[in-house]
Chains A and B, each alone.
Chain A
Amino acid sequence: MLRVICALLVALFFIAPAYGQNAFQDLVQTHAPQIIKGSVKTAPAVIADIQATKSPAATRFLQNWQSKDLWYRRADDLIVTVTTDDNKTYTLLGLADQSVIGTAQKSEIKQIKPNSGLRGLLGTALVGAQLASDDLATRRSSLESLARDPAPEHLAPLRAALNAESDVDLRAKMLRLERLLTLQYDTDTDERIAAINGFAGDLGLDVRARLNPLLDTRLQLSQTPPAAGTFARMINPANDETLSVTDAYDMLVANGWASAKISPDDKRKTLIANIENGAVGGVDIADLNTDENRNIAYAALVDAGIAPVDVSDADIINAVETAYFYDTYSEQSPAVIAAAQTALKRINTKVGISQGVDLFLDGLSLASIFFLAAIGLAITFGVMRVINMAHGEFIMMGAYTGFVVQQVITNYTLSIIIAIPAAFAVTFAAGVAMERLIIRHLYHRPLETLLATFGVSIALQQLAKNIFGTQARPLTSPDWLGGAWQINDVIAISWIRVAIFVLSILFFLMLWFTLNKTRLGLETRAVTQNPRMAASMGINPDKINMLTFGLGSGIAGIAGVAIGLFAKVTSELGSDYIVQSFMTVVVGGVGNIWGTLAGAAMIGFLQKGIEWMNPSNTLAAQTFMIIFIIIFIQFRPRGIIALKGRAAGD
């Protein structure tokens, strides 16, 4: 008994799908004549019937139908899909689950080829089916593909799906796409205007991509004036930027309303072809080295009937003046155009404001980079008055320290956390060593400090090249610093830049506190202003100088890690920043970290501002910025924030 039940169960298991297949296949077969014939009139009923099964086979069937992958057997109109290896013998596959039904020769079967109207109908049905699918992921992906390549006929299924959609997020996206399609494709003008007005002030790129085509114009020309109201604007080629007289004349020629001007090259060829006894048209060849003589010779050829008459410049101007050139909108409804213009105007205003904010953020970010690069100098140069040309190389050493740490520790977050103190330690040590070995001997010869530290700079740069090679080394940022902070469709700022901004603020606070509120800061300022007096008060100037210089260098090392995260780490990393860093300190005002802040802000915003005026050319922006700084120094030789009184030194 048990055995019988088992056998029955097994049989049922096999029969069940077979039954399902037959059901779908049977359903299709009932419509076989209409499917094979494929008329737009009968198809909607068939499609609706098949879609009513809501099975995956139905979707696949419609896709196959649309892509001309359906075949039928001539003998019994059995509709199938096929595969073939040799284009002679075909394997027939069932519609429900693509199981093999049999084989057939090429002559026994025939492909079903729906016409384009029917294929459009099928496409719409498919979109509708996918949008109405029970699976959320399918609905989402089909909406995305629809947004990429929308067509007027998608509007109806989209609206149907919109009403049925339960997911709030997806519904919002559908609604947006529906509005976009409405403003572009809907047949009702009022609907379209309502949709356009709904988007006024929306920053999305998709909105602009749909609105702009509404205002597309086409250049037209006619010999009679166009009727009022049928054109966007009249164009007078004589004083118009978009259409030159030459181009306008070319349009006339293309329309067959004027004869083409003979190019100087063609004229030359004609002259060469008609050389007789060392002369053309009575002009000696040797004299043909001016346009004037060439024209005389050519005119002679024209008179002789050998060459075609050329069009004179006056003729061209006349011809262009007698014709009418104007732009027409491809959009028919004036009300829609007006609405689109208003909406775009408001959008553009908002985009402009956002771009201004974006520019401000860019400037802020650049300023914080300059500040970070210059803050070490603000101490060594600004406070101690030591010109350290190797400052850039300390930045580079910091960046390479970060690189080495990353080679050992592969977790990026951890390695950055370790790299920052490591870089500080390395460059602090280098700074102290340099102060002890070189700089302390040169405190009274500032110009020579410049030269000696320059010697250190080229030696360090070449050493880095020998150790790490000339190719750029990557310093990878952790994932949480990847990507950008997207504030709206226009304003975006990468997280690394945000981090650098935060870091520079931190540095500023830390340094300000150290210099103004701690014992070390007090002693540093005392030693800088008057080393002898400081020494007589019990301060050890040697120690203070050493520590201060080490601090300035160490900060350069940390800046190196930060800069290495967004710039490529090479041995030239430092020299890219050295001149700007010095200028930041000088422009801001020496001896004062508020000054460095002001200098970095000015240089950063200025450079971004100039770049904005001429975006294609960052080199020119840097040039103009430097020239501006040279002029600026004329008016404030001591920088934006100048020290007064005794603290100013000399």
Chain B
Amino acid sequence: MQGPLGKFMLKHPSTLVFLGLLSLFTIIVTIGSEAFGYGFVSTSFVKTLGKTLCFCLIAIAMDLVWGYCGILSLGHFAFFGLGGYMIGMWLMYERTRLIVINAAENAQIPMTHQEIQDAIGTQIFGVVGGSDFPLVWAFSHLFWVQLALVVLVPGILALIFGWLAFRSRVTGVYLSILTQAMTLALALYLFQNDSGLRGNNGLSGLQNLPGLESTDQSLISMWFFWASAFALGLGYLLVKLIVESKLGNVVRAIRDDEARVRFLGYNVEVYKLFIFTLTAVIAAIAGALYYPQAGIINPAEIAPIASIYLAVWVAIGGRGRIYGAVIGAAVVSLLSSWFTGGQAPDISLGFYTIKWVDWWLVLLGISFVIVTLYVPKGIGGLFDKFTKGAEQ
């Protein structure tokens, strides 16, 4: 191993282990996929796994902001959703444009630019009774701009919100409630029909990549799976680099005693703002990768409950250890989809049949209480026993 990154890896072998396991997992899924291998992993399951990787990525962000910086944000799914909306706008615009142009292929005279725009507008906004493009769609035809907006819009929102919140020294549970209010406000705003983003219909058909209509979904799902795995690996590395640096030390000190760090001369607000904004951007990237796999995004996705589930994943996985967040997000979200998907066998008690579709949330809620009370370090805490010597 050469260079500073190599040294870092040697110093923190857990990173190497994680990246190795992630690569192994990716290779196994690739071999098992319908597109490249034996086909024992179905396309829909590849999508589920890809989506789970995106959840793991946002869980890492959540762990950084909560587990390391002590800010319990109950609004990070707002950034996740915004990232999805930004990429979704381009996907939807471009695909509709291709459909319109295809349909006009046989017309006797070519369409003018305005006619094409009107046709796209009618197709996209017909459901909310409109046909004009709202201002927020101004760049939807430019892929690179929209890709930049994936990062910029949630980033700037987090920057403004964080600046307002931190400068007035809102901390602890107040900050949690404020972030929850933010995501609720955003969700309610997007629910309106004249929000410009199709109200509660949301954006749909995102799984179809423009210009790749003939490409099979099994192939596309693998591309997104790889992209999600790559993003997760990169995100893990980045967050690990941050928490192991001097910056990471200050951030952890802020979590443990904010006042003392301030008295030592550090500008606490800047550190918190940096972490908050950075995690918002990571969340947005996760969202931008997630929604093309999910195919649809609507405002219900960013309701406050989603962000609370995010906290649940991280808490169950174990805060303050990045792999813990990954484990928590993967285990809980996969279990959740297994139980609520009706795949789990029902348990018959003779007088009553436990249907997991109905009882899974009860189980999750109770186990969450138990984890908080008795296993505050989460699943990741179990690994501490093995890694203690190696990490220190």
A446 interfacial contact with B, CB 8 Å: yes
B362 interfacial contact with A, CB 8 Å: yes
B residues less than 8 Å from A456 (CB atoms): 365, 369
B212 interfacial contact with A, CB 8 Å: no
B residues less than 8 Å from A455 (CB atoms): 312, 364-369, 372
B58 interfacial contact with A, CB 8 Å: no
B373 interfacial contact with A, CB 8 Å: yes
Contact with B along A558-598 (1 / 0, CB 8 A): 00000000000000000100010011001000000000000
A441 and B372 CA atoms in complex are apart in Å by 10
Q: Do A447 and B182 have beta carbons less than 8 Å apart?
A: no
A residues less than 8 Å from B365 (CB atoms): 455-460, 462
Task: Using A447-B172, A456-B365, A626-B185 as known contacts, say yes or no to A289 and B373 having CB atoms under 8 A apart.
Answer: no
Q: Nearest Cβ in chain B — how far from A470, in angstroms?
A: 11
B376 interfacial contact with A, CB 8 Å: yes
Q: Do B362 and A387 have beta carbons less than 8 Å apart?
A: no
Q: Nearest Cβ in chain A — how far from B190, in angstroms?
A: 9
B residues less than 8 Å from A414 (CB atoms): none
Q: Do B181 and A272 have beta carbons less than 8 Å apart?
A: no
A residues less than 8 Å from B180 (CB atoms): 579, 582
Q: Nearest Cβ in chain B — how far from A537, in angstroms?
A: 28
A582 and B176 CA atoms in complex are apart in Å by 11
A617 and B367 CA atoms in complex are apart in Å by 40
Q: Do A620 and B181 have beta carbons less than 8 Å apart?
A: no
A609-650 contacts to B, CB under 8 A, are 617, 619-620, 622-623, 626-627, 629-631, 633-635, 637
Q: Do B168 and A637 have beta carbons less than 8 Å apart?
A: yes
A residues less than 8 Å from B165 (CB atoms): 630, 633
Q: Do B189 and A452 have beta carbons less than 8 Å apart?
A: no
Task: Using A454-B368, A462-B359 as known contacts, say yes or no to A286 and B177 having CB atoms under 8 A apart.
Answer: no
Report which residue of A272, A460, A620 has the largest number of chain B beta carbons within 10 angstroms of its beta carbon.
A620
Query: A451's contact among B169, B188, B372, by CB below 8 Å, is which?
Result: B372
B161 interfacial contact with A, CB 8 Å: yes
Contact with B along A463-484 (1 / 0, CB 8 A): 1011000000000000000000
Can you name the residue of chain A whose Cβ is closest to the Cβ of B305? A575
B residues less than 8 Å from A253 (CB atoms): none
Can you name the residue of chain A whose Cβ is closest to the Cβ of B366? A459
B324 interfacial contact with A, CB 8 Å: no
Query: B164's contact among A285, A445, A451, A630, by CB below 8 Å, is which?
Result: A630
A268 interfacial contact with B, CB 8 Å: yes
A residues less than 8 Å from B390 (CB atoms): none
A residues less than 8 Å from B192 (CB atoms): 617, 619-620
Query: A458's contact among B168, B182, B361, by CB below 8 Å, is which?
Result: B361
Q: Do B176 and A458 have beta carbons less than 8 Å apart?
A: no
Contact with B along A284-297 (1 / 0, CB 8 A): 01101111001000
Q: Do B373 and A452 have beta carbons less than 8 Å apart?
A: yes
Q: Do A579 and B308 have beta carbons less than 8 Å apart?
A: no
B residues less than 8 Å from A629 (CB atoms): 181
A431-459 contacts to B, CB under 8 A, are 438, 441-442, 445-448, 450-452, 454-459
A271 interfacial contact with B, CB 8 Å: yes
Query: A463's contact among B167, B315, B362, by CB below 8 Å, is which?
Result: B362
B98 interfacial contact with A, CB 8 Å: no
B184 interfacial contact with A, CB 8 Å: yes
Please, how many residues of chain B have a CB less than 8 angstroms from a CB on the other chain?
A: 52
A152 and B246 CA atoms in complex are apart in Å by 91
A286 and B109 CA atoms in complex are apart in Å by 7
B79 interfacial contact with A, CB 8 Å: no
Q: Nearest Cβ in chain B — how far from A78, in angstroms?
A: 65
Q: Do B312 and A582 have beta carbons less than 8 Å apart?
A: no
Task: Using A463-B362, A582-B177 as known contacts, say yes or no to A623 and B373 having CB atoms under 8 A apart.
Answer: no
Q: Do B184 and A289 have beta carbons less than 8 Å apart?
A: no
Task: Using A289-B111, A450-B72, A619-B189 as known contacts, say yes or no to A462 and B305 having CB atoms under 8 A apart.
Answer: no
A297 and B295 CA atoms in complex are apart in Å by 44
A275 interfacial contact with B, CB 8 Å: yes
A461 interfacial contact with B, CB 8 Å: yes
Q: Nearest Cβ in chain A — how far from B97, in angstroms?
A: 14
A637 and B165 CA atoms in complex are apart in Å by 9
B388 interfacial contact with A, CB 8 Å: no
A residues less than 8 Å from B182 (CB atoms): 626, 630
Which positions in A face B, CB cutoff 8 Å? 268, 271-272, 275, 280, 285-286, 288-291, 294, 387, 389, 438, 441-442, 445-448, 450-452, 454-463, 465-466, 575, 579, 582-583, 586, 617, 619-620, 622-623, 626-627, 629-631, 633-635, 637
Question: Can you report 9 A-B residue pairs in the complex whose CB atoms are below 8 A from each other?
Answer: A272-B109, A285-B108, A289-B109, A457-B365, A458-B361, A579-B184, A620-B189, A630-B181, A633-B174
Q: Closest 10 A-B residue pairs measured CB to CB?
A: A459-B365, A455-B368, A462-B361, A626-B185, A289-B110, A452-B372, A455-B369, A458-B365, A623-B189, A455-B365
Q: Known A-B contacts: A387-B173, A452-B372, A633-B168. Give 6 more (CB < 8 A).
A: A272-B108, A291-B114, A447-B173, A450-B72, A579-B180, A630-B181
